Amino acid sequence: MLSSISLICAETPGVYYAFQNSDAVGKGIVIFLLIGSVFTWTVMVDKAISVFKAKELANRFIFFFRENKRNIATPTLRREAAQEGGPTAIIYEAGVEKLLEFYEQGAKDNSASLQPGVIVPTKLSEAQLNAIEAVLEREVSGQIQQLETRIGFLATLVSLSPFCGLFGTVWGVMMAFCGIAAAGKADFTALAPGVAGALLTTVAGLIVAIPSLVGYNLLTGAIRGITVSMDNFTEEFMVRIKLEQLEMQKKQQE
């Protein structure tokens, strides 16, 4: 972004002229906004890579989860979750860990023989199902918080940049009129340099704010989509457990 601004300045003498005729406050605001633009693009690119990678991993594990119609805690599914490392895989691992904890506890209470690596499903109480769901929701909140890291920085620049540019413009125009008042005569040639320098801060503010706004909207939309996928996955996870509980009860009654 900084290189593009430098190119514009090189090809457009008016921009360089406006910057040269700005006072210390105007130049400081322009430099501050250009530095903010560099940070904005750095955050946007980094977050775009991480968010869209998380989206791809989440969708891939959800597809694998839906294709696996067997027990919810099969070694194949658990191994796939460990390899994926996406948000839904992490949620799955947390839920399965709690589920197996209850299964192990139930097997001990029923004096069932436990063999290493063998899952022994037992009847779960309503409180245990609620505990599993609470673990899943906690992991969903943690993943959302991780996805939204530094998004607030973009939101701040979207709001702050135009106001910084407006402040620089108002300041520059005010100082230009003060200069004319001190000279004691209205001279357009004396007013023009100050106004040009003042308007440059507005341009710099918009250059930072517009890409930040677009990036912020795209990233928040992608995060919102991942959040919906995680919430749906949590519901599917709980439905699978309840269906397995019903099948187990039917087999016991037979």
Q: Specify if 254 maps to a domain.
A: no
Number of domains in the chain: 1
Give the mean model confidence (pLDDT) for residues 227-232. 95
The pLDDT tens digits of the residues spanning 87-111 come to 999 999 999 999 988 888 876 666 5
Tell me the residue range of the domain where 180 lies. Answer: 2-7+15-246
Within a domain: residue 251?
Answer: no
21 within a domain of the structure (yes/no): yes
Give the integer Cα–Cα distance in Å for 182 and 160: 33
CA–CA separation, 103 and 120 (whole Å): 6
Give domain status of residue 158, yes or no: yes
Q: Is residue 234 predicted with pLDDT exceeding 80?
A: yes
**Alpha helices (H) along 120-187:** 126-147, 151-183
The answer to whether residues 114 and 120 touch, using CB atoms and an 8 Å cutoff, is: yes
Q: Examine residue 164 and state whether it is found in any structural domain, yes or no.
A: yes
Residue 252 domain-assigned (yes or no): no
Residue 50: HSE in the Cβ half-sphere, 13 Å Cα cutoff: 16
253 falls within a domain: no
pLDDT at 10 over 60: no
Domain presence at residue 102: yes
Would the pTM count as exceeding 0.85? Answer: no
**Mean pLDDT on 177-202:** 74
